[in-house]
């Protein structure tokens, strides 16, 4: 059965009987439920500090021009809808470690005792990479991006008068996307662990992977600035190269 093949990665290697598909689906359902509840709680917690979130998110804009920092609210319900929008993305950042833990918990049955010891360190590393990407974007890449669009708008003789909906939609997706891009090593090493890709495959397809990484960086970074593109693509390429050697070590240890 196709579903049984999909959930095969959760089966213990030494088990003689496979777990029914319905039990796998039930475990998956509870994983999704726990993740959703955690995200909702984090979201409402962030909503309580929405004024602080607004000041933090508009700080890069005020550095460019204090007058532009006063965004326009065109909709009657913008104060609530944008606040929930901000709280949702801030809730993702706040609850990210727990979401990773629930995902790891779903995979745990297939791990050995030795491998289970590395779950919490792996979650810590994954969250650190995510947070590192978010901070790099917020403190360095985002101000450069806003400044580029600000000057480009002025070069056409237009006065920048951005709305809260446009600004926060752009900024939140940009920051979260950059943070998720730094999860590349975690995704690659998980695929290696489950045997979906190998060291030889990664080494052989390295040039294609580099091209795809820069294509992804081009999609996430909406500016044509070459420095902005390199600032995102180069770290991802270095992370991917590191994954190749780590996967080589994992396969060598497994064969030994």
Average pLDDT over residues 187-197: 75
Residue 113 lies inside a defined structural domain of this protein: yes
Range of the domain at 126: 18-255
Alpha carbon distance, N-terminus to C-terminus of the chain:
33
pLDDT at 1 over 60: no
228 neighbors 141 (Cβ within 8 angstroms): yes
Kindly state the DSSP code that residue 254 receives in the 8-state scheme.
H
Q: Tokens standing for 52?
A: 């602080």
Helix axes of 164-181 and 142-155: crossing angle, nearest 10 degrees: 140
pLDDT over 70 (residue 155): yes
Averaged pLDDT, 214-234: 72
Residue 62, in any domain of the structure: yes
In a domain, 1, yes or no: no
Q: What is the DSSP letter of 17?
A: S
From 17-21, 142-146, 235-239, the region with the lowest mean pLDDT:
17-21
Query: Is the Cα dihedral 38, 41, 45, 51 positive or negative?
Result: positive
**C-alpha count within 13 angstroms, C-beta hemisphere, residue 232:** 36
d(CA 69, CA 246): 45
Domain assignment present for 164: yes
37-76 tens-digit pLDDT: 999 999 999 999 999 999 899 888 888 776 655 788 888 8
Distances (CA, A) of 161 to 59, 69, 124, 145, 165: 16, 9, 41, 16, 12
Residue at 7 is within a domain: no
66-110 pLDDT, tens digit per residue, is 665 578 888 888 889 999 999 999 999 999 888 988 887 777 665
Question: How many domains is the chain partitioned into structurally?
Answer: 1
Helix axes 50-64, 142-155, angle to 10 degrees: 50
Q: How far is CA 240 from the centre of its chain?
A: 16
Q: What is the mean pLDDT of residues 217-243?
A: 74
């Amino acid at each position: 059965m196709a579903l049984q093949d999909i959930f095969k990665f959760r089966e213990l290697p030494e088990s003689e009987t496979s777990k029914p598909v319905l039990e796998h689906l039930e475990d998956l359902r509870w994983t999704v439920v726990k993740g959703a509840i955690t995200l909702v709680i984090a979201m409402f917690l962030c909503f309580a500090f929405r004024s602080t979130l607004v000041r933090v998110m508009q700080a890069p804009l005020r550095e460019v021009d204090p007058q532009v920092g006063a965004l326009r609210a065109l909709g009657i319900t913008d104060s609530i809808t944008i606040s929930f929008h901000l709280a949702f993305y801030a809730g993702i950042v706040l609850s990210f470690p727990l979401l990773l833990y629930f995902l790891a918990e779903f995979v745990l049955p297939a791990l050995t005792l030795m491998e289970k010891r590395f779950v919490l360190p792996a979650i810590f590393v994954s969250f650190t990479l995510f947070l590192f990407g978010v901070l790099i974007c917020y403190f360095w890449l985002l101000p450069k991006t806003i400044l580029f669009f600000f000057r480009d708008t002025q070069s056409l003789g237009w006065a920048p008068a951005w709305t809260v909906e446009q600004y926060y939609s752009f900024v939140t997706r940009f920051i979260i996307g950059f943070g998720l891009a730094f999860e590349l090593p975690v995704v690659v090493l998980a695929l290696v662990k489950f045997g979906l890709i190998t060291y030889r495959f990664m080494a052989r397809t390295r040039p294609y992977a580099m091209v795809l990484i820069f294509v992804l960086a081009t999609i996430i970074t909406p500016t044509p600035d070459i420095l902005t593109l390199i600032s995102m693509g180069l770290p991802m390429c270095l992370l991917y190269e590191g994954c190749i050697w780590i996967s080589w070590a994992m396969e060598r240890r497994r064969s030994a």
